[in-house]
Amino acid sequence: MFDINHGENSQTMAELSTRHLLGIKDLNLSDIELIFETADEFKSVLNRPIKKVPSLRDVTIANIFFENSTRTRLSFELAEKRLSADVVNFAASSSSVSKGETLIDTVNNILAMKVDMVVMRHPYAGAGIFLSKHVKAQIVNAGDGAHEHPTQALLDAFSIRERYGDVAGKKVAIVGDILHSRVALSNILCLKQLGAEVMVCGPTTLIPKYIGALGVKVEHDLLSALNWCDVANMLRIQLERQDIKYFPSLREYSMLYGLNKQILDSLDKEITIMHPGPINRGVEITSDVADSKQSIILDQVENGVAIRMAVLYLLAGQAQ
Amino acid sequence: MQNLTLLDGPKFQITIQRLCRQLIENHDDFTNSVLIGTQPRGIYLARRVAEELRKILPNKTILQGDMDVTFYRDDFRRGERQLVPNQTRIDFIIEGKKVILIDDVLWTGRTIRAAMDGMLYFGRPAKVELLVLVDRRYSRHLPVAADYVGIEVDSIASQKVVVSWKETDGEDKIILVSEK
């Protein structure tokens, strides 16, 4: 039918095992590797004078954000536009959601306008999974409550792979508010799939009980965690999700779990510093560390666009 | 499965050399011309042609790149299965250059259309020509014609034309594969 069959050694074919990207939990190792290989090529597209390909020119994507976001929303929108998709944006605060419309009604109304894919962020865990069972469009989870944030985990692992060549065998410490973090869960699942060792570090109150069941080490002392790891992923304290006091004061948290230049220089090796953003400078990480050459925070942002292009491209390309 | 060898041995080498001589007739010393092979199979021919040209023109720079057309294809979201993209490697500016697109087999012409589309993202070439090793005649879906042709083959849609290369497959050979 198509002229790809020049010979027996024609181009390799593969597709994701899932129709939606709801969480890393649904991806297997070959899915993640396929996303990375595709993202490699999109990263090279992003470094060309014309940073665009026409692949998704007949695809319409709605970005539906029920929660605030700067990086993720911009990154998705750029990824969509660089794939030549048509994009509509929707923020819950300025919509009929505030008039009492339900999630399914809101989304079905958007889909009635012939939208193919929905990128959604929602404050409730499982919102994407719920939606995927009730509407026809393909769903990409851009963060659901304290549950998962799959594209963030993929871009984090992709950045580690870029820095070290491989993720397998690397030691990654995730430091901070693990309890309220969707980045932490997705990162743990993704890094474990790729064969990395993972440690979580933070005050006892911010580490979920039984997290060891995911196959991660637990540490409460920052210096020990840093001495163990190759990569430290510093998470923000999610004050907006904390309904009770989990530690006495931000100042005390910062003294015990904040990463500063002094601690970094006291280590006998050079570790890589990551942060998913937004940074609270002076709380979990000081400015001089965030801006140091060990930090790959801005590389993470750059890779975010390539990873999201890969995810959207691979999902859109599946047989309809 | 029935295999018919269309070209191999010394004749294969002579065909490539003839294509190179024809290129030199039109492109002189290649100061303003570049070669671009299409992924996945056209790059071997492009590399072979570049290598041969460097032997004939030892003091000249022959620029050669690889173009992957996956993102520019017209069958995205239409096929059964998805294609994994290959690497695009074009380390020079195409703007104002004479581009020689190179593929192993010209069949429907759709890959070449995609390659021309993708190429424009690297600049506006002064001229584009097409070189192929095998032209499967009377099978075009699009008005595409090659400027330089190794051999012409009459075949039917169910047949396949396979070019194998010494570098990857152990032998330089063109075979026609029939279903029965």
Domains and CATH numbers, chain A: 24-147+302-316 (3.40.50.1370), 150-297 (3.40.50.1370)
**Shortest CA distance from B169: residue in chain A:** A9
Confidence at residue A94, expressed as pLDDT on a 0 to 100 scale:
65
**Shortest CA distance from B114: residue in chain A:** A54
Confidence at residue A320, expressed as pLDDT on a 0 to 100 scale:
66
Binary contact (B107, A45; C-beta < 8 A): no
Confidence at residue A96, expressed as pLDDT on a 0 to 100 scale:
66
Confidence at residue A61, expressed as pLDDT on a 0 to 100 scale:
96
Tell me if chain A has a CB within 8 Å of the CB of B144: no
Task: Provide the percentage of residues in chain B whose pLDDT is more than 70.
Answer: 99
Q: Does domain B10-76+84-156 have CATH number 3.40.50.1820?
A: no
**Section B131-151 average pLDDT:** 96
pLDDT per residue as tens digits for the range B18-43: 999 999 999 998 999 999 999 989 99
Nearest chain B CA: its distance from A313 CA (Å): 9
Nearest chain A CA: its distance from B169 CA (Å): 10
**Shortest CA distance from B85: residue in chain A:** A38
pTM of the predicted structure, to 2 decimals = 0.87
Q: Out of B88, B108, B164, whose CB is closest to A3? A: B108
Q: Out of A10, A53, A319, whose CB is closest to B71? A: A53
Residues of B in contact with A7 (CB under 8 A): 41, 104-105, 160-164
**Shortest CA distance from B80: residue in chain A:** A319
Tell me if chain A has a CB within 8 Å of the CB of B104: yes
State the Cα–Cα distance between residues A160 and A178, nearest whole angstrom. Answer: 20
Binary contact (B71, A34; C-beta < 8 A): no
**Section B92-117 average pLDDT:** 94
**Shortest CA distance from A49: residue in chain B:** B122
Contact between residue B66 and residue B88 where contact means Cβ atoms under 8 Å apart: yes
Nearest chain A CA: its distance from B58 CA (Å): 31
Tell me if chain A has a CB within 8 Å of the CB of B71: yes
Structural tokens at position A261: 């230049």
Residues of B in contact with A52 (CB under 8 A): 121
Residues of B in contact with A4 (CB under 8 A): 83, 111
Structural tokens at position B36: 């671009």
Beta strands B173-178 and B160-164, pairing class: antiparallel
Identify the CA nearest to A46 among candidates A78, A69, A74: A78
What lies within 8 Å, CB to CB, of B64 at 6+ separation is B34, B35, B36, B37, B46, B47, B49, B50
Q: Out of A6, A41, A55, whose CB is closest to B104? A: A6
Binary contact (A11, B83; C-beta < 8 A): yes
Nearest chain B CA: its distance from A205 CA (Å): 45
State the Cα–Cα distance between residues A156 and A125, nearest whole angstrom. Answer: 21
Placement of tokens 């944030």 in the chain: A149
pLDDT per residue as tens digits for the range A243-261: 778 888 889 999 999 999 9
Judge whether residue B80 has pLDDT over 80: no
- pLDDT tens string for chain A (320 positions)? 333 444 434 677 788 999 999 999 999 999 999 999 999 999 999 998 889 999 999 899 999 999 888 889 999 999 999 999 999 998 877 666 667 788 888 888 888 888 999 999 999 999 999 999 988 899 999 999 999 999 999 999 999 999 999 999 999 999 999 999 999 999 999 999 999 999 999 999 999 999 999 999 999 999 999 999 999 999 998 887 777 788 888 899 999 999 999 999 999 999 999 999 899 999 999 999 999 999 999 999 999 999 999 999 999 988 66
Binary contact (A9, B41; C-beta < 8 A): yes
Residues of B in contact with A58 (CB under 8 A): 77
Confidence at residue A110, expressed as pLDDT on a 0 to 100 scale:
85
Domain ranges of chain B: 10-76+84-156
Confidence at residue A95, expressed as pLDDT on a 0 to 100 scale:
66
Residues of A in contact with B68 (CB under 8 A): 41
Residues of B in contact with A59 (CB under 8 A): 77
**Shortest CA distance from A309: residue in chain B:** B71
Contact between residue A237 and residue A177 where contact means Cβ atoms under 8 Å apart: yes
Residues of B in contact with A318 (CB under 8 A): 82
Nearest chain B CA: its distance from A164 CA (Å): 21
